[in-house]
Structures are given as C-alpha cells and as structure tokens.
Amino acid sequence: YTCAVSMSVCLSVCLSASLSLCLSLSLSLSLSVAVTLFLSLKQQNLVHGDIVPNKNRNADPCTKTGCKWPKYGSFVYIPVAIASHYSHTQRNLIIRSLITFHHHTCIRFVWRRRNHRDFLYFFSGSGCWSYIGRQGGQQPVSLRRNGCLYISTAQHEVLHAIGFHHEQNRSDRDRYVHILMQNVWSGMEGNFVKASTLNLGTPYDFNSIMHYTKYAFSKNGQPTILAKSDPNLEFGHATYMSKNDIDRINRLYECCKYIKNTLGL
C-alpha cells in the first residue's frame, strides 16, 4: 500500500441527519456472545461458513482493485440500505455497528440513493453471511434478527463485504495453527481450506474478529483448530475488531491518517 504525503481534512459523515445522535451513543457494549453461524439448508452452499461464493469470480481474495470499494479523496464511501423488516432497535444496532468503522478507518457508510448502483443491503436472511468484497449492484448482507444482531457479528460480516476472509483461512495459516480435519463435520471441510489472501504485512491474529473458535464445526466436541504456539490457547471469541483487523482495513484502502493512529488505539 502507499500513502500520499498530503492529507485532506477529516470529514464527519453521518448516515442520516435524523440519526446524527448515533455518533454520540456509547459503543462500549459488553458482548460475551461469539459470532453465531446458522447452518440452514440454504447455507450449505456457503463456503467458509458465512461467505457466499461468487461463481463469476474465481475465489478473488481481494488482492485486486476489482473487489475493493472505490475511494474518493481520502475516504471510501459505501452506500447502504437496511430492510424495513427490522425493528427500530435492530436497525439502530446495525447503524451503530457501521459507525464503528468511521471511528477507526477511512470507510464511510452513507445511505443509498437512486444514483448509487452498488450498495450493501442488510436484511434478515437465513443466518449471518456475506460476499467477499464489492460485487456490484445490490449486495446482500444477511443479519438474521434472531441470532446475528450483535456489534461483533455485524462487524464480521461487513469485513467480509469490504474484502476480508476468515483469519484461519489465511495463506500463511499453517505456520500458526493445526487444522484437525478428523474432527470436522462431514461436508464442512471446505470451511478450513486456505485462501490466496493478501495479508498486507500484518501478523496472524488469534484476537481477530474474523477468527473461528477452536471447536468450529466440530462433530465430536474435539478441537478443529489448535494454535501451534499453545494448544490450550482459546480464540474466536472477539467482541470487537482487533487492532490488526483495523490496520488491515487501513492498509488495503490506504487510509493514511488512520494507519498512523492504529497503534495508539
């Protein structure tokens, strides 16, 4: 990634004038719930648990410009729409989740208007799932009303939508974890296949909100993922984006101002 020497003044972009108070709401929610994945019949077609495969794109790991959302000046503006079937409280939780990206990155979510061809559409589908990176047109992000509406889960699926895979699917993961396929549910082995990821010079992160738990998709109660450094290490229970998660966003989208601030979080 590269950064320009000159910086534009940071603009305060709110999702809506009527919801401007969201910016003053406390985001320090105490969440002890891990990312929930619903394995409905429809979701059996997903790869890596909650990622929808794009048959027109050959496993694009978001290493190319094509899957990134466009940047205008110093910011990346991503239009969003939220389905009307959410309650007011549920809708506001999604909005608060989106605003967390405003605090740490140059990503700015704005309400979708008629002239916005590409946008994220949040709706209550058959679980928690997303595509990887910008797909074009109305791009669904499913946050099921019963089980997916947590800050952590919304951040996780949005990270997919802006271009990121699960941590344990990183191209260099074999240096850090053992994958125990003998303990994985039959038919779920695809969730542990390595992706051709661009790791942006950041370390493997057990604290990433994109990391599965050590028992993910276990058929027998035994671990499916073990840390090579410490087999007893617990992971996959993050309730908020890690510093590395944030740093990767800023590196991928060349958020120069925020790259400098990441270590000071």
Catalytic residues: 157
SS3 261: helix
Measured CA to CA, the distance from residue 18 to residue 78 in angstroms comes to: 19
Known binder of ligand: residue 237?
no
Which class for 45: exposed (0-12), middle (13-18), buried (19 or more C-beta within 10 A)? exposed
Structure tokens at 219: 């058929």
Known binder of ligand: residue 166?
yes
Contact in structure between 169 and 194 (CB atoms under 8 Å): yes
163, amino acid identity: G
Measured CA to CA, the distance from residue 246 to residue 262 in angstroms comes to: 7
Helices (H), 28-150: 88-104
User: What residue numbers does the annotated binding site for Zn(2+) cover?
Assistant: 156, 160, 166
User: What residue numbers does the annotated binding site cover?
Assistant: 156, 160, 166
